[in-house]
Structures are given as C-alpha cells and as structure tokens.
Chain A
Amino acid sequence: MSSDGTYGEYEVVCGIEAHVQLKTKTKAFCPCPNEYGAAPNTLVCPVCLGHPGTLPVPNAEAVRLAALAGMAFDGSIRSVAHWDRKQYFYADLPKGYQITQFYEPIVEGGTLEVQMPEANGGSVKHVGIERAHLEEDAGKLTYDGDADALVDFNRAGVPLLEIVSKPDIRTPAEASQYAQELRRLVRALGVSDGNLNEGSMRCDVNVSLRKQSTEAFGTKVEVKNLNSFSSIARAVHHEAERQLALLEAGDGDAIQQETRLWDEANGVTRSARSKEGAADYRYFPEPDLPPTRIDIDAVRADLARRFEEDHTSSHDRRLPFVELPSETRRRIQSPPLNLTADTALTLCENPFGLLTFLDSTVAHLNGNEGVIRAACNYVLGDIMGHFNSSKTGESGLTVEIFAAILTLSESEELISGKTAKELLKAALAGGDVGNDEKELRQYVEDNNLAQVSDPDQITAWCREVVDANPNQLEQYRGGKTKLKGFFVGGVLKKGNANPKMIDSILVPMLDG
C-alpha cells in the first residue's frame, strides 16, 4: 500500500455492514430480557425458541432506537415499518427464518462523518449510509470437544440494526475509523453498547479493487469474523494485497464473489466453505406482522425525555437533544477548548465521563484561555491517567474542587503548579482537601501550601542564592545558561516561591 492508500494502480473500494445490537430491555419480538452473559438458555421463552403457534410482537423500543440512529446519520425514516422473512435452515435459527426488513428498510440514506487521526492525514471523510434495517439476532453456537454443537438461544431474538455503508471507504484506516465512529455514534445515542468483544457490534467488510479514477467496481469479497478495529484495518489491507497480487499476475478472474473469514492469528483471510449454489433466502413479507406505524414526532418527544439530563452547549446540532460525536469534535476543536484532532477523537467518546466533567468545569470556571488550557491538560493528563490506572473507575474529584484548584493555581497563583498537581492527585484518590473553594483555601492555609508571591521576599532569596554561588554565576554569564535551573532550585529551597516570579526576578539578576 502506498502512503495515499492506493495499491499499485488500484484503489480500494470498501463498504461495511455493521450489525449493532440495540440496547432494549427486552428482545425484538418477545418479552425475554435482552442481556449479555446470562447462563445459556435462561433468557428464552416459547416465542424466541420458535415453538409451534407462537407469534412475534414487535418491540416498539427497538423501532424507536432504530429511528433515532437513522436521524443521527440524517437518513430518511420510514413512517411505516414493514417486516419480511429471510429463510434458511441453521441450528442457531429457531424458526427456520429470520424476521428482517428486506424490501423496505426503516432507514435509507444518510452519512457518517469520520475524522481521520492526524497520522492518517487528519482529514474529515463523509461516508454514505445506504440503508439501515431492523432484524433479530440468531442464537449462538458453541462446539464441545466431542464435535457436538451446543446452541444458546439467549441471543436469539435480540434486536439488531444492520447498518450498511455505501462503498465510499478507500483505505484500511478509513474502514477502521468508520467502524469506530459508528460505535461512538451508537454509544452516544444510547442505542447500543457497541462491544466488539461481546458481539454487540459486529462488522463485515466488502472489499474490491478498481483502477484509480475509474467508476466500475471490481468483484467484491465479503470478509467476516472481525473482532477488533485493528483487525478491520488489517483484514481490508490483507484482502486488498491478495486481490492486487491476483490482478497484477493477470489472474483477476480468480477473485470470486465470496465470503472469506479473517484469521486473526495468521493475519490472512480464508475462503469460507462455499455453500452449494447461491443462497436463495426466499424473502417475503412477514405475514404474522402487520406494518408497524412509526410516529416520528412521538419518537422525538420520547427521545427528548430520554436525554433530559444532557446539558451540554446548545451548539448547532442535528438532533436537539443529543450532541453527536462529530458535533462534539467540531465544538471542542473550536474556542474555547481548541483541542487537536487526535485529542478531540479521544475526548468525543466522553471516556470516563471526562468530556462532561471538562464541560462542567469550564462552565463553572468562567475562566480565561490559559485556565481553560490548563483544565484541558489536566483532564487529558493526570485525570485520564488516574482513570486508566484505576481499577474501580472512581474518583473523589468534583467539578467544584477541580475548578477551585485551577482558580488557586492558574488565576490567582496562590499555589504552585506542583502543589496543584498534588492536590489534584489527593482529591482523585478520595483524599479530603475540602468540598468547595472556601474549604480548599482553608486546607491550603492549614497545610502551608500557599506560594510566596511577595516580590521583596523573592528578590531577597534570589540575591542570597546568586551571591552564594559566584562560580556558577560566572559560568552562567559565560554562556552556560542551563545553570538557571540550579539557581531556581536554590531559591525554592529557601521557600515556596512563585516560580513565575522567580523567573522574572532571577533572570535579570543573573544577566547582570
């Protein structure tokens, strides 16, 4: 692959089909709980086991969540949801058919805004959404040592939203980033957990090559079994290399429309055992389900209630009640936060609730650019570090105390940066440094943590240190300016002096 993502004289044409399990309380067509990790076959009922005589009842919540996702990528939402059956025999499919939306998907069209990391150019890419439709998940097959297959039907009937992108993806990195952005989106909306390792989000990629600046598509190959974002990128890359080798050897016909499985351990794709003949799923309208009417206004009202607690800024949004990750990035890359693209990518997922925390702190501070930059640095540094290494994922730091520390250190320079870090560390660990700014000031006073900002006192300390070290002074004046640190250290040994003031007083003194 060249640095621009092309393969020889070819470019990658890639689309992604993502299956996202919807975060509903119950399954798509029966009242069983929709939960991960329960003992096998404990979340089942006659309906999701496909017992004779049972009938599906659509879960309105699943329809609402699908509509919400559709609104978020600006697709057009159908006012009536139609259901179809996709038929095939398999041990994990209780009814011998899957209820899906083949003829009329609930969502059509839309785009997903994908921010590429700086290492991949840092540009913003718009990937088109072809369609998104609701369907039910199948059970899960496991094989015991004796080659017997065991089926767990807990997953059977869990609502899925299959989101099909347009073939707009051109590089392995874009494929991975598209999937990550999709996950950010469904998580931000509360539509899905989006866990690849738990299978609540599963991505299949369609890969083909075509000569650069041509329109016609090559033969596409579907790659499944992608369990991480990095395997998505690796699989696209490997598949492109494989196809390129065939094309360059004049053996393009050997590229067949087929399903291949990603072998993570060996980093290759392998042809899945081909079924006899092309599969005919014999789709037809589900006769057990009349069309489900979708009242978009009611969906919006319901969602407004759902996101009531969300108080982030009233930035220009696609959905009034929730800020999409792309919107978050645009906002936090602008004043006052002015974060970089990579930082924005990290923070827009609101890891550990840190973006919410930062937003609240900024609102609380009403501070200047410097204070806000310090707040960002602390959040991305010490505070995120705390959460990354913390096992409990908890912290004792409140917005109020964080703002107070910033006020005392950055605005008032009452305490030094070093002290601020120590206070922060203590607060994160649950230590008592007071509950508000007033108590923090008391704590600083009680523990003698305030720095000295009296110019006369600092001048006196500087003078003492300079006078006591004539040799070093001579070397400094001879050009060894690195020795400044030596003198600063000396002053700090005298007392808790304001480092900025040391600088402004000490340097002219040293320079003579």
Chain B
Amino acid sequence: MTSVARSALRLNAKDGKPARWGRTRSRTLVNALPSPTSALESASQVTAAKVTSVQLTQQALDAIAEHEDLGAFLHVNADVAINHARQIDERSESDDSAEDRPLLGVPIAVKDNLCTSDMPTTAGSKVLENYTPPYDATAVQNLRKAGAVIVGKTNLDEFGMGSTNEASAYHVVRNPWATDRVPGGSSGGSAAAVAANLVAAAIGTDTGGSIRQPASFCGIVGFKPTYGLVSRYGLISYASSLDTVGCLARSVDDAEAVLMAMAGGDASDATSSYHRDDANNTGGGDMESTRFALVGAALGEGVDSGVSAAVRAAAATLESLGATCDGDVDVPNFEDALPAYYAIACSEASSNLSRFDGARYGPRASVEKGASLQSMYDETRGSNLGEEVKRRILMGTYALSSGYYDACYKRAQQVRTLVRRGLDEALEGRTCLLLPAAPTVAYKLGEKTDDPLAMYAGDLMTVPASLAGLPAVVIPCGMADAGDGTMMPVGLQLIGKSFSERELARVAKALEKAIAFKGL
C-alpha cells in the first residue's frame, strides 16, 4: 500500500499550525490535468468498452501522486483499486446493465470518515491512526454496487470538525486555485481532489456545511442531501442528528448520479429514509413553474460584496431563464441557527466521541502498570484528540451537564424547531431559496486558526439547512476578489424542500449551463 500521507505536509503537533505555510510556492495550480471526462460519461465509456476501468483508475492514481502536495488524500491503495478496476474490466456481459451500475468503473475518492474495510479509516484523527474498520459503510457499499472504484480516502478536519481542513491531525489541504489558501472544510480533501481533476467525483459528509462550504471555496458542485436520504451506517459520527453523506463533483449531473447511487433506506440506520423514490419522482417541473427567493439575511452585512454580487447575478440569470423571483425574503430565526447548531452538534459530538478510549481499537497510551483506568483514558484521549475536537467535546459536555441541559441543549432544540419552521415557511410555494454557501471566498491558510469564533461564523449560511434536515446544492456562480487581487470562486447555495433533490438538481443544472463557470 502506498500512503501519500507519509510524505505530505504535516501539522506542527505543538500549536496545531501547518509547519510550512511560509514556503514560497506557485500560487495557482500549474499543469492542471486536462479535465477527465465526467463520471457519467466515463461510466458509459466503460460500459461500452471504449475505455477500461484500469485506464481510468491508473489515470486517477497518477494524478493523485503527481499532486500529492495538495494534501488531498490520507490513504491511497493503488493495488486494491487497480484490482477492483480489473475485476470490472473482466466482468461478463451478463453481470450488469448500465442502468444498475451507473458508475461502472469510475474512480471515486471517499472522505476518510466513511468506513472502508480495505483501507484505513481515521476520520483525520490520531485516535484512529492505522485503524481499518471491519466493514464498509453502507454508502461505500452502494457505490461499489453501482460499479465505482474507490481509489483513496480524502483528508478532512478531524472528525469533520472544522471549516478549513487545518484541523486534520495529519496535514493540511491546499486549495488548488491558490495553494496558500484553504480548501474549506471539513470535506476539504474531497473538494481539492475534485477541483484539481484528480477524480471526477468524491464523497463528502455535511453536518453543518462540510460539503457546501468547501465546494464553494474550490469552485465545484457540492450536494448535501435531505437528512436520511443516504444511510449514515459507517459514517463516523460527529453529530448524529445532523450528519449527512453527499457528493462533490464538477457537474450537477455527476453529483446527482453519485448521490442517488448512495441513496436508499438502510436497515442498519434507523434514521435513514425510504424516500429515495420520492426524491426520484420529483424533478418534472419546468422553469415557468419554478419560483424562488433570496435569503435576505445572507446577503447583507458581514458578507463579502463580491460574494453577494455573484449570488445576485446568479439569481438574475435564473429569472432570465423563466423562473419567478420573489426577491429577498426574511427567513424567521435564520440567524439563530448558528448558536443552536453549535450547542446541538457539540453535545452530540461529546457523546459520540466517548467511544475513542483506547480500549478496543486505535492507539492506547501506555500508562504505568497499576495505573487507573481513568489515567489510561486521560492519556489516550488527551494526547490523541486534537484541540478543536477537545474544544467541542468540552462545549458539548457543558451543554449536557445537569443544571445547564435546559438552558443549553434543550433550548437549542427548541430553536432548531423554529429554524426548521422558518425555512419551511420560506419554502412554501417555492422551489428553492438562494443564498451564498459562505460569506467569503477561500481565505489564507492560518488566517482564522486562532479565532475559532470567526471560523464558526463562516457557517452561518450552511447550518440552517442542516438543522432543518433540508437538501442543498452548491454550484460555482462566479469569481470574487479575495481582498488581495486574487480571484477565487463563489458558490451559490440552493436550499430545497425535504426529498426534493431531483427538483433542486433540475434548477441547478439549468443555472450551471447558463452560468458556464470555467473550472480548473
């Protein structure tokens, strides 16, 4: 097994900062690969035997190796991937129909918080260093069933907790558009891999914006589904009631296809939904019947002017396509979502991460013979969990403590209900709501590391849909000045009603075509 993690940039363990930011390097990715064909197109070529899966997979592996400095991957298993690709190439005619295997032979990268039985799964944490799960996540299983070849595991903020990928315990990820900038997080590795053309599509997870914000920062499509559309079984939990599995790709078509390949009710996840068919059956609407509004609160103060301009321009484009625009609407309780999100997510995280105690798997701190069990826990967790993770565990533990439960956790749940109601109201009679995916474009590495609150504030645009469990898709809608003359991509976010993924995809595709954003 080759692991690109070993040679790549590492965090300075002491202060959690990337060790080599200062290095002079080219600011944009030169020699970006010629855009490989889309995932769907690749699959049809494999199905028609015009190209082999081994060829596609080798191409992806070469690209990954060539762009190792991006830090997008934590594990790459070339042997396993090529073997799998070969099996697909050697399939018999009767094995499958293209319909059953829409991703036949397509190399896909998977975020490293989704369990894979043939590759390590660390969730970007030292507490799971060298851990290989005994099973595949349902989403991964479904991808394999659809014919996808898993080429590697992408980098992320530890346990998905972060907005820049700087909180990975292994190394940072660089934004392919400007390598001194963050790719966003927590699915930063997946976003960078797709944006840099290493793979056509990558799996991400989104708890409070972890697919949408990096998609926005990297100028690609990010699709976060309705909560429950894709099984969470095998997704290493951050916040159970918010976690979703989705997709990052360079086109809405690809993102939708990969998402639907993973979707479906799962007996192993009691919170999964059997609504996939509903999600499939919608999408028949046309532009004349499409009605949308802009979220006013997400376009005012605190939002970069370049970002709001690009989003407003996209709204005008959508209107010009025949859709009806209701202008800016007030979404009740929209701004209350952020504190409620952090209270709930941290509470659930503090509980979900209790299992990482060094007793059954993962590294165990060596303590003196006869030392207490507690001291083993303290050592193992103290030395193997990162600062951001510890911060959120502490916040969550506090929020759930007796005496604070009602004021923190319970109140946050009440706010969550209000946020959901507010979005439902705003979506009443409309196809979708438009807003930015993030208030800024990608900022520089290290810029917000020491200011967690500033970083949390960046999630303002994404957490409402998470709290409400609604689907949202992000597409690149233009470029904006990052403040120093660097032009960086802006992501447009479309929030739809529960299980309206097809409908959202339809609108997003029309916009995508009209905007004709030029990726790397």
Q: Which residues of A are in contact with B by a Cβ distance under 8 Å?
A: 46, 49-58, 85, 87, 89-91, 94-97, 147, 149, 151, 280, 282-284, 287-290
Contact = CB atoms under 8 A, between A and B. Distances in A.
B360 A57 contact: no
B377 interface: yes
Given A52-B133, A282-B397, A282-B400, A287 B241 contact: yes
A59 B390 CA distance: 34
Contacts of A283: 400
A284 B406 CA distance: 11
B133 A96 contact: no
B270 A91 contact: no
Given A97-B351, A290-B270, 6 more contacts: A52-B123, A52-B128, A52-B356, A55-B233, A96-B351, A288-B237
B347 A52 contact: no
B266 to A, nearest CB: 9
Contacts of B353: 96
B114 interface: yes
Contacts of B270: 55-58, 288-290
5 contacts: A46-B135, A53-B114, A95-B354, A95-B355, A290-B271
B251 to A, nearest CB: 29
Interface in B216-260: 232-237, 239-241
A53 B236 CA distance: 4
Nearest to B402: A280
B381 to A, nearest CB: 9
A54 B232 CA distance: 8
Contacts of B157: none
B137 interface: yes
A53 B237 contact: yes
Contacts of B123: 52
Interface string B113-124: 111000001010
Contacts of B128: 52
B405 A55 contact: no
A96 B236 contact: no
B268 interface: yes
Contacts of A54: 233-234
Given A94-B360, A95-B355, A287-B348, A52 B268 contact: no
A96 B357 contact: yes
A477 B320 CA distance: 131
B429 interface: no
A97 B350 CA distance: 11
Given A53-B233, A55-B233, A96 B271 contact: no
Contacts of A52: 115, 121, 123, 128, 131, 133, 236-237, 355-356, 361
B267 interface: yes
Place the interface of chain B in its size category: 35 or more
B34 interface: no
Contact of B347 (A57, A89, A284): A284
The interface centre, meaning the residue of A56, A283, A284 with most chain B CB atoms within 10 A of its CB, is: A284
A58 B370 CA distance: 38
B351 A85 contact: yes
Contacts of A282: 350-351, 397, 400-402, 405
Interface string B327-363: 0000000000000000000011011011111011100
Nearest to A49: B360
Interface string B368-385: 001001100100000000
B269 A55 contact: yes
The interface centre, meaning the residue of B113, B134, B270, B347 with most chain A CB atoms within 10 A of its CB, is: B270
B409 interface: yes
Contact of A51 (B114, B361, B405): B361
Contact of A87 (B134, B351, B373): B351
A86 to B, nearest CB: 10
Contacts of A91: 359, 373
Nearest to B396: A282
Contact of B232 (A55, A90, A95, A289): A55
Nearest to A83: B270
Contact of B377 (A89, A149, A290): A89
Interface in B109-167: 113-115, 121, 123, 128, 131, 133-135, 137
Contacts of A89: 354, 357, 373-374, 377
Contacts of A58: 270
B170 to A, nearest CB: 17
Contacts of A50: 355, 360
A287 B360 contact: no
Nearest to B403: A280
Given A90-B373, A94-B360, A96-B351, A284 B400 contact: yes
Contact of B240 (A46, A94, A147, A287): A287
Contacts of B234: 53-54
A289 B240 CA distance: 9
B227 to A, nearest CB: 11
A253 to B, nearest CB: 25
A287 B239 contact: yes
A57 B271 contact: no
B180 to A, nearest CB: 33
Nearest to A88: B354
A97 B349 CA distance: 12
Contacts of B114: 53
Contacts of A51: 133-135, 360-361
Contact of B354 (A46, A56, A97, A287): A97
Nearest to A96: B354
Nearest to B413: A285
A99 B238 CA distance: 18
A77 to B, nearest CB: 21
B121 to A, nearest CB: 7
Contacts of A151: 359
Nearest to B137: A53
Contacts of B233: 53-55
Contacts of B237: 52-53, 288
A94 B359 CA distance: 8
A46 B134 contact: yes
Contacts of B355: 50, 52, 94-96
A95 B401 CA distance: 18
A155 to B, nearest CB: 15
A144 to B, nearest CB: 13
A52 B159 CA distance: 11
Nearest to A289: B270
